[in-house]
Amino acid sequence: MNFHDLFANFPALTITGLEQGAIYALVALGYTLVYGVLRLINFAHSEVFMVGTFTALWTWEALGYDQNSPAPAFGPLILAILAGLAVAMLASAATAVTVELVAYRPLRRRNAPPLAFLITAIGASFVLSESFGIGTARAPFGMPVLIPSETVFTVFGAAVTNLQLLILGVTLIMMIGLDQFVNRSRLGRGIRAVAQDADTAALMGVNKNRVILLVFVLGGLMAGVAALLWNVRYGYTKFNVGFLIGLKAFSAAVLGGIGNLRGALLGGLLLGVVENYAAGLFGGDWKDFTGFVLLIVLLMFRPTGLLGESLGRARA
C-alpha cells in the first residue's frame, strides 16, 4: 500500500474520480429509471451506451473529422459537438425503445416470469454487442480530438481541465433536468404513478405502456449524452466498450439506491472517487476490484443503498 502516492495525489485523484463517476452516473440513470418502473434490470443498457459512442463517431466522420484532423475552430467545434450529441442521443434512445418493443413488451403481454426478463435482457445485450463486433471486425476505433485538454485552474496543486469541467457540468445539468422532469412535469407524475402502483395508475387513466416507453427513451437519452462525453474524454470506442461501463453504472445505481435518481448520481460519483483512491493506494490493477468490493460491503450493511428511496415514492 502506497500511502505516500495517495496523499500526494489526493486532489488529482479526487478530480479524476469525479469526472469518471459522472459518466457512470449518467449511464446509471437508465438502469434506475427502468428498474424503478418495471423492477427490471435492463442489462442491454450497456449496449445502448455503446451504440451512442459509435453513432457520434460516424457523425464526426461524416462531417470530415478523423483522428488526424486538427482541432476545429470554435464555430465548427460547436457544430460538431451538437451534431454528435444529437445523433448519439437519438440513436441510443431509438436502440432502447427497440429493445423495449422487441424484447420486453411481448414478455409483459404473456405475463412472463421475472427469470424470462432477465435472460432476455442478457440475450439482447449480447445480440447488440456481437452485431457491432461482427460489423466492425472487433477493432477499436479512435476519435478525432475535437477539444484538446487544457488546464483551466488548479485546486491544491491539481490541474482542473476544460474536459473535466465539461463532463461535470453536463452531468449536473442533465441530472437536474431529469430530476425536475420526473418530479414536476405531468409526464413525470405518470412515471411516478406507474412506479408506485401500475394497476391503480391505469385506473386513473395513465397509459402504462406509454410511460414505460418514455422511461426507455429517457434512459437512452442519458446514455447518449454519456457516450458523447466518453468519446470526447477517452477518445476511443469498441464493440464491447459498454460492458465494463455498464457493470460499473449498474453498481453505481445499486450503491446509491436503485430506483432513486439522485442516488444514481451519488453512487456514480462515489464509485469513481473510490476507484481512483484505490488506484493511488494499491496500484491501477486494483481499481476495478475495489469498486465492486465497495458495493458488496455497503450492501451488507445497507441493502437498499445509500439513499434507498424508490422512484415511485420520490417527491418534488
* Number of domains making up the chain: 1
Q: Which residues span the domain enclosing 91?
A: 3-301
Q: Looking at per-residue confidence, does 237 or 202 come out higher?
A: 237
Asked whether the CA dihedral 112, 92, 90, 135 is positive or negative, the reply is negative
Which own/partner contact pairs does 79-86 have at CB distance under 8 Å and 24+ positions apart?
80/146, 81/146, 81/147, 81/228, 81/232, 83/59, 84/56, 84/59, 84/60, 84/228, 84/231, 85/56, 85/224, 85/225, 85/228
Grid cell for residue 38: 418495471
Residue 66 domain flag: yes
Q: Is residue 310 assigned to a domain?
A: no
Q: How far apart are CA 31 and CA 23, in angstroms?
A: 13
Q: How confident is the model at residue 316 (pLDDT cuts 50, 70, 90)?
A: very low
Domain annotation covers residue 315: no
Instruction: Identify the DSSP state of 285.
Output: G
Average pLDDT over residues 12-38: 95
Residues 6+ apart with CB under 8 A from 213: 97, 100, 101
- pLDDT tier, 313 (very low <50, low <70, confident <90, very high otherwise): low
In a domain, 228, yes or no: yes
Compare 283 and 186 and report the one with higher pLDDT.
186
Q: Residue 264: is its pLDDT beyond 60?
A: yes
Write out pLDDT tens, residues 207-262.
Answer: 999 999 999 999 999 999 999 999 999 999 999 999 999 999 999 999 999 889 99
Q: Is residue 308 part of a domain?
A: no
Tens-place pLDDT, residues 56-105:
999 999 999 998 889 899 999 999 999 999 999 999 999 999 999 999 99
Residue 35 lies in a domain: yes
Q: What's the CATH number where 44 sits? A: 1.10.3470
Residue 151, in any domain of the structure: yes
Residue 307 lies in a domain: no
* Least confident interval from 199-213, 216-230, 274-288, 296-310: 296-310
Picking from 240, 231, 235, 68, the residue whose alpha carbon sits closest to that of residue 139 is 240
pLDDT (tens digit per residue) in 96-123: 999 999 999 999 999 999 999 999 999 9
